[in-house]
Amino acid sequence: MYSHPQHGGGEEVKELRRQAGAWLKNRRTEVGLTQRALAESVGLEYYTMVSMIEAGRGRIPPDSYLAWAAALQMQPAEFVRTLMQFYDPITHSILFGDAGSATPDDGTGHAAPKFRVV
């Protein structure tokens, strides 16, 4: 079962992080940024942090969502809404009317596992 979004979690959370990373990588390449250029744009000291996030081994801290949205040429609300599908699918489902059927698409055609809202 899905665990709290901030607590690492089990295989489902890891899979969602991988899907988030794939979506971010797709978006980064769509706008023509390298990992290094994105890292500089969002204020990361090391571009390898972008690599880790794209590989699903980290997540974007909420206090940098605005910088990431700007760098990826997205409206902040659209960026956060999409990211929330992966980072917190239950809350996303409740907020956006698809409660009980969270199936984010990572941009590569993969859907996330469905979660039960309890």
**Which amino acid is residue 46, in one-letter code?**
Y
Residue-wise over 56-95: b if at least 16 C-beta within 10 A, else e? beebbeeeebebbbebbebeeeebbebbbbbbbbbebbee
**pLDDT tens string 25-82:** 999 999 999 999 999 999 999 999 999 999 999 999 999 999 999 999 999 999 999 9
d(CA 61, CA 65): 7
Tell me the C-alpha to C-alpha distance, in Å, between residue 13 and each of 5, 18, 27, 77: 8, 9, 21, 23
d(CA 85, CA 106): 9
d(CA 75, CA 80): 9
Q: Is the pTM of this model over 0.85?
A: no
User: Looking at residues 4-24, what average pLDDT do you find?
Assistant: 81
